[in-house]
Amino acid sequence: MLLFAAAAAAAAASSSSSSSSSSSSSKSAATTYYGQGCLNASARALPYCWKNLSTEARLLDLSGRLSNSELAARLQSDGVVPSVEEIGLPEFNYRVEAVRGLEAYPLEYDGSVQIPTYFPISQGVVATFNRSAFEAMGRVIGVEARLWAMRGGLAKSERPVGPSVRCPMVNLMRDPRWGRSDEAASEDPYLTAEFGVRVVRGLEASKVVAEVKHFAAYDLETNADYETDGRKSFNAIVSAFDWTDSYAIPFERTIRDARAPAYMCSYNAVNGRPSCANSGLASLARDEWGMRGFVESDCDAVGDLVDDFRLANSDAQASALALNNGTDLDCGHTYDAIPEAIEAGETTREVVEAAFRNAMRPLFDVGLFDDDDNLTLPDYPEDRAAAARDVAAQSLVLLKNDDGALPLAKDAKIALIGPLGFVRDELVGPITIGPCVAGSLMGGGYKGDYDCVRTLNESLKPAFSAPGARNITSDDESYVADAVRAALEADAVVFALGAGLETVDETEDLRNISLPGVQPYLVKAVAAAVDVPKVAVLVMGNQYSVDDWIDGVDALIDAFIPGVGLDPGSVIVDALYGDNDGKFGKLPYTLYPASYVDVVDVANMSFKNRGYRYYGGPITFPFGRGLNYATFQLSRLSPVLRLDLSSKNTAAVRVDARLSNLGPVDADEVVQVYFRPTTRPATDAPLPFKQLIDFDRLRLGAGRAADVRFDIPVTALALVDSAGTRALFPGDYDIILTTGNDDADILVAQLHIPSNQSASSE
């Protein structure tokens, strides 16, 4: 979809326009960026600044000019790495978080103020099932990283912003208890990979370094005993099957296909080897996937080799262990001991210089050591906030809508009930800095100020409202009676439910997945008291269960964390009243019942009992589900294609269908493509019930239809065996198209792979 064009049309209606660019031109004159080198005559006299040399020759010249202590200082990225004035090498800040927007303070420039553009949390962006939306997020982050770097903008802890960001995060949502699910995108490796690839391409369009997080097999903050920060010594036991079938896919695609130049290694170990001292992971990324840049440790992970893994007895040994195994940057201070490690023979000057070159190469690649005219501000939409808002509108997932409870009538008297109706920062979400200028500019603190962000109550303006709880986590039931009284006066009830960082965050995981505090009881109490339409809106970053209260509501929207602008709740309000142009998303994960945590071990890294591909137990809502105010119908254009893939020349299979919008409104719909094996191949590895292999988002007017076509590579039917080899296995396979909703699946092809076609798909 033409996302930016749609966003521009919506700009006037967006109350988030305070984050728009004040510039009226799409190009800015050449200027100096933070981190730009080769600016003075003394530096330009040195070979590392000579553009007629290759990048490698320039880096070799530069690395040889630094002392051991200077190299050590340049490889510690917890703070700003220092300049080396004698040779004109500028300081640089590698620590700029940007998982869903630039985590930076509002920017004052030329008499105006801009705030960073925040998108929904990654789950919400991925719920659009729209590759253009994925790329739009990367593009906006890239533009703003350049803009802040050009105009002296500051990231958290008031460090300068440069054109290098920690984004995207492509770890899989393996378990709903994971404390950092609010930063992740999906349980599905293909969908997560598509997201990662497009985000990186958007960043690359602005010549911004993309650092992918967190390699590898990281999706647990604690351990089997739920110990706080247990991740720092957790050993993820990952089978060869799970590695190839799940964990590696998003990283391989993002690094190999999108050319992401760097990754952050994770806190945990993988099969006994800490990720930040793991030559296997580093060589896989560099030698097989072609990564050109650096490996950066998660913060203090090199020090954890001493304190938690106990593989080193000193900082010098830990530094050597990390460096010798491919970790170039230490987001910590352990690399202070690099000179000592060299002196003791634990590592060599050559290894340290190579690490420095890896850390610098992406900065050379994005033009920081070239002429000014390579550093002009790239094209960008005039209203970036409108682009983010359009993505947010596409992200909301309508999971239930019995008897047309939604959209709400405009003249209905609404009662807003629930603690999430009265919060501010939880609507903006994690990995952000408060967008309210007075409290954020230079000294507003790490998180800044969110007091100017409207609550959902302020955006909805209901006739009646009551939080129904003391706060999000409170078990105090004394507030429920006020909520019931409010509901009794109303024509319809909107519940605002969910949770934020009050319940889970980095270093902690959930022990159960029921909504916290009194919220489930609140829904049931109100539902028992009133017989009016009841709608629940979830604002959450984890896959909280809804099974214990879902029967008490007529409609349910998963809003994730919308995040956008100063009025994120207005995106929800538009959807409630049908003012969202028929834009809804699809669920990027499985919603399990609360009992899931009783039958699946949080620390078991297998996907055997996880997600739509391999979990055969009860679920509440499936991956890919998402209703709309329009009724869509998929139908075949031709009889089911039955094809024997006996020729090795068959590279792809074309399938198609007709998507019809039966009305009553213009709307978007997502068509998803899955394959499923229908016979047992000759492998002892688990077989997926089905596997997503493509998707497309379309917009159709009421009463209109469109033909959708997909060219499916035969290699998309490959399965993974227990040894971790991906191959085409002889057998029978179905290809299914679906909108993800009840009775929407249509079989479009039945394919047979004969024994003489079996071959590795790599």
Q: Is the dihedral of CA 642, 646, 647, 653 positive or negative?
A: positive
User: How far apart (Å, rounded) are the C-alpha atoms in residues 415 and 397?
Assistant: 22
Which burial class, exposed, middle or buried, applies to 709 when counting CB atoms under 10 A from its CB (0-12, 13-18, 19+)? Answer: exposed
CA angle centred on 119, ends 194 and 108, rounded to 5°: 130
748 membership: H or E segment, kind and range:
strand 746-753
Nearest C-alpha neighbor of 332 from the set 368, 308, 367: 308
Give burial (CB, 10 Å; 0-12/13-18/19+) of 747.
middle
Check residue 504 and report its DSSP letter. -
DSSP letters along 90-124, please? PPB----B-SSS--B--EEETTEEE----PPPHHH
Query: How far is residue 411 from each of residues 418, 457, 491, 716, 740, measured CA to CA in Å?
Result: 22, 17, 9, 51, 33
Ranges in the chain, pLDDT < 70 = 1-31, 371-382, 438-448, 647-649, 756-762
In one-letter notation, the amino acid at residue 95 is R
Angstrom distance (rounded) from CA 359 to CA 162: 14
566 in Cβ contact with 452 (< 8 Å): yes
- CB of 276 within 8 A of CB of 214? no
Tokens, residue 275: 């990720």
Q: Residue 27: its pLDDT value, please?
A: 36
Q: Please say whether the beta carbons of 172 and 246 come within 8 A.
A: yes
Token pair for residue 550?
């879902």
Q: CA dist 479 to 146, 418, 455, 482, 519, Å?
A: 48, 10, 19, 6, 11
* pLDDT given at position 371: 67
Residue where the block lists tokens 């896959």: 543
| C-beta atoms surrounding 649 within 10 Å | 6
Predicted pLDDT at 342 = 98
Contact 503, 511 (CB under 8 A): no
**Token pair 């690839």 in the structure block, residue:** 197
Whether 270 contacts 281, CB under 8 Å:
yes
In this structure, what DSSP letter does residue 502 have? T
At 682 the pLDDT is 85
Phi, psi angles (nearest 5°) of residue 655: -125, 150
The pLDDT score that the predictor gives to residue 743 is 77
Closest CA to 475 of 526, 419, 528: 419
pTM value?
0.94
Instruction: Name the helix (H) or strand (E) containing 732.
Output: strand 731-738
Three-state SS sequence of 595-655: CHHHHCCCCCCCCCCCHHHHCCCCCCECCCCCECCCCEEEEECCCCEEEECCCCCCCEEEE
How many angstroms separate the first and last alpha carbons of the chain? 32
Tell me: cis bond preceding 163? Omega within 30 of 0 counts: no
Q: How far apart are CA 152 and CA 174, in angstroms?
A: 39
